[in-house]
Amino acid sequence: MPTVKVSDESFKADVIESEKPVLVDFWAEWCGPCKQIGPALEALSDEMGDKVTVAKVNIDDDPQTPTKFHVRGIPTLMIFKDGQVVSTKVGSMTKTKLTEWVEEYT
């Protein structure tokens, strides 16, 4: 399952109202670490798509949502469960660490 592009307009429906946990990646095109973690997020989405949705919010295209959730640096990754943020990580990480982190909340 590919990652899902989420906008300010679709965030409530795609993330807050989701039936399953959602890993949200706040990123930007110009961000090196964001590009570095991209393939790991795609692989995670393919492997765990039945348990978790992996969503991406481009902070330049959709600035309202990152502001609402106090995103200060990117990549910022947040896991939402039942409409609430249950965990946040800032910075790039390996696919192994990413998988271990997500498994704690799925």
pTM reported for the whole predicted model: 0.96
Catalytic residue among 22, 34, 37, 41: 34
pLDDT by residue (tens digit) across 9-38? 999 999 999 999 999 999 999 999 999 999
Is-catalytic flag, 31? yes
Tell me the residue range of the domain where 9 lies.
Answer: 4-103
Q: At what angle do helices 95-103 and 32-48 cross, to 10 degrees?
A: 50
pLDDT by residue (tens digit) across 73-99? 999 999 999 999 999 999 999 999 999
pLDDT by residue (tens digit) across 51-61? 999 999 999 99
Picking from 77, 81, 41, 39, the residue whose alpha carbon sits closest to that of residue 59 is 77
Rounded to the nearest 10°, the torsion over CA 24, 26, 27, 32 is -90
CATH number, residue 66: 3.40.30.10
Catalytic residue among 15, 23, 24, 31: 31
